[in-house]
Chains A and B, each alone.
Chain A
Amino acid sequence: MRLSDLSPGETALVVRVGGSGAIHRRLLSIGILPGAIVRAVRVSPLGDPIAYEIRGSFISLRRNEADYVEVEKIVPLHLVPPGSVVKVILVDGGVGFIRNLNRMGLSPGKLVEVLRPCCPMLIRTDAGVFNIGRGMAYRIYVR
């Protein structure tokens, strides 16, 4: 799907950045590149432009510009309702953080079952059952 198809509140992973010349380069330098996490925040009164949150800042893009960005919808773990089993897509953090989560069986590709909603969250992975706090759940993206 395209970035412009994202509804406010939804999060996605950037897959490909198309376009050429200035627009292509500008999207990249603002941090929209493959692997980046983008959240649609708000739509302007006439439906265009749209504000996105990207790497901690808010960026306004016109629809025709957001059309160039191919994305894949993902969900931060804290929004996952209890009872569902989801797959970890991405963990957003430094080396230490990633290593810690790895030990809890939370690395890309692994399955997680949510037992109790946030926060703290109770989850089951192939490494066991864990309590995880809000700070962690916000930085784990699943599908």
Chain B
Amino acid sequence: MLIALAGNPNTGKSTLFNEITGAHQHIGNWPGVTVEKKEGFVEYEGKRILVVDLPGTYSLTAYSLEELIARNFILEEKPDVVIDVIDSTNLERNLYLLTELMELTDRIVVALNMFDEAKKKYRIDFKKMEKILGIPVIPTIAIRGEGVKELLHATLHGKFSMKKPEYPEDVEKRIKVLEERLKEIMEEHVRWHAIKLIEGDVEVIRKLQRMNAKSIIHLAEHLRHEIEDIYGEDIETVMASFRYSFSHGLFHEVAEPINVGGVTITDMIDHVVAHKIFGIPIFLVIMYLSFNFVFEVAVPFQDAIDLIFNGKNLSGGGKILGLVDISYGWMTTFMPSWLSSFINYGMFRGLGAVLTFTPIIMLLFIILSFLEDSGYLARIAFLMDRIMRKIGMEGRGIISLMLGLGCNVPAIMSTRTLRNEKERKLAMALNPLVPCGARIQVFAFLTSMFFSKNQALVLWSLLILSFVVIAILGYIYSRTIFRGEVEPFVMELPPYRLPTLKGVLIHMWEKSEGFLKKAGTIIIGAAGIIWLLAALPWGVEYGSEASYIGQFAQIIGPFGRLFGLTSQAIIALFFGFFAKEVVIESFTVLFESKAALMVSMTPLQAYSFLLFLLFYTPCVATVATIYQETRSLKFVIFVIFEGFFLAFLFSFLVYNIGVLLGVS
């Protein structure tokens, strides 16, 4: 048995999905697109029910990807029951989608979600609604799991004798005419096709063209003009008006408003946080505090994971052994030491690197889920839209850029909140240029050595440069390679709701799990390759100038010098691809003392190095995530190329202008 969940955005549809399927769910993409597809199953009365969560939509037109996905699923996969999840606090608007769904299928169960909240607004007579519609109507409170059993019961045993909404005679008789003709060439969903043809739905017209039914298309066109003439409006307005008058009428039949005109809590909160002047400062403070929270909590975890895996060199010269060392020692008892070294210092350590990433990624996802589930994300979009549009994104794009300051991995995954494919790609192309926490750590380490007097100034110069570059590239990209159709930005500002712990955790885990499983394997693989290059030929010190990496650095040394990069700097950059903070470790391997490091580069060379590090390729984890999100090797190569291009450009310019000016 197959059931599909349909509904408007912000109706608690995902929460209900989680409540129905529990842990039995799988997240993937709809074929060929980057829209998320959630599937799960539930055992009920010995039956195994497959549940598919359709994208949240306001209607079922052919104008947006989500709407097409939703309606095509119902047309083609023919779910046994469609559950329409309705936000009862916003009944009238939500009923519009129901009228469209009723044209598509007879087997609908209505879930009146957030029923408890709705009671404060009006008295809803759901029994009466059931009678009028002829289909089961079940009140639910998804966040508390209430009504789920009743919903499943209705799905299996409910009475379906739907009374389809009818259009006025002028329209209805024309639909019937078209239906008669369509019956000659199709058997299913005939009325729906007839209505859509009259509406001039591009997808359905295309379908009929494929079926060579030109005369029917012409007939529909003719009937459409007749209706438009009768009502003096365009067909879409006419049809939408009838559907809305049906939902308006139904709404007033079943709901009796209480308490009209009061000021809501959402109103009061918005009065402050969406304020014309204070809105943006409040947003910045909230983000600043969130980041502080993330780093305060994540850093001890990261250190602990690092200690467990890699141990610690004691200042006295000894070493606390980590898991990697212990496992290495153990494996050498039954395999050659090079193989043990590869497995442990290559791959196993790579796993450690993935794991050290996870606390920060999970925490950033918690922040993101909280912003999303509470309704604040929509306000951020509202506040920032005008600014972000200049660089080709809607307001929500700011979130991915800000998360990037923590880690580019969750930042890139957060671009899923952008609905437009082009905008999403643009956001992913720009994100690696945001200096992540790891890079900022390296900047802090090196600036403290080379620019002890102007450390803050140097650090800020790097941050500001990256923001300027992002703004300029965003401006250019959005008008050239990532130019898309301007999609309507009709966005709902949902009422504020306190996110549930369960909801936030499920949300967080869904995303972190994806990173751990998929990106994790790529990262461990890459870690193995890097190990091979740094440890071979066998017998050299790991990552030293005698290793393959070292030799490579020697060979391209003259080229590097054009940019002020020393061969040690090139080695360090190589390791930085693994994870940016490894640059610090790499320098400590290459130089015996801090003093030796400090004299290895002039301040100008050091600054050129920092510029290179700011922009060049994103780390393995980020690259893996970009691939996982886009499934496009071409796009990944583009992002890497973009980074190197900027790195070479800025290092070259700054270094050579510096030399010419005699700065060193």
Interface residues of A (CB under 8 A from B): 16-17, 21-31, 33-36, 42-49, 51, 54-62, 65, 78, 93-95, 97, 134-135, 138-139
Contact = CB atoms under 8 A, between A and B. Distances in A.
Contacts of B260: 134-135, 138-139
B383 interface: yes
Contacts of B92: 31, 55-56
Given A25-B236, A138-B261, A30 B58 contact: yes
Nearest to A21: B63
Given A48-B385, A51-B274, A60-B489, A29 B59 contact: yes
B425 interface: no
The 6 nearest A-B residue pairs measured at CB: A94-B252, A29-B59, A28-B240, A46-B386, A58-B493, A22-B63
B93 A55 contact: yes
Given A22-B63, A134-B261, A60 B93 contact: no
Interface string B203-241: 000000000000000000000000000000110110011
A33 B489 contact: no
A61 B121 CA distance: 25
Interface of B: 58-59, 61, 63-64, 89-93, 96, 121, 233-234, 236-237, 240-241, 244, 249, 251-253, 257-261, 266, 270, 274, 276-277, 279-280, 378, 381-383, 385-387, 485, 487-494
A17 B237 CA distance: 8
Given A45-B277, A49-B489, A138-B261, 14 more contacts: A22-B488, A26-B63, A33-B244, A42-B270, A45-B280, A51-B274, A58-B493, A59-B493, A60-B492, A61-B490, A94-B251, A94-B253, A135-B259, A139-B260
A33 B279 CA distance: 31
A34 B277 contact: no
Nearest to B381: A60
Nearest to A48: B386
Contact of B237 (A28, A42, A48): A28
A31 B93 contact: yes
A47 B488 contact: no
A56 B91 CA distance: 9
B241 A35 contact: yes
A95 B491 contact: no
Contacts of B387: 46
A56 B114 CA distance: 15
A24 B252 CA distance: 26
Nearest to B122: A56
A27 B490 contact: yes
13 contacts: A28-B59, A29-B58, A45-B386, A46-B386, A48-B386, A51-B382, A55-B90, A58-B494, A60-B493, A61-B490, A94-B249, A134-B261, A138-B261
Contacts of A35: 241
A116 B42 CA distance: 60
B93 A25 contact: no
Contacts of B382: 44, 49, 51, 60
A21 B249 CA distance: 27
B236 A58 contact: no
Contact of B490 (A16, A26, A138, A139): A26
Contact of A31 (B96, B249, B258, B280): B96
Given A22-B488, A56-B90, A93-B252, A45 B383 contact: yes
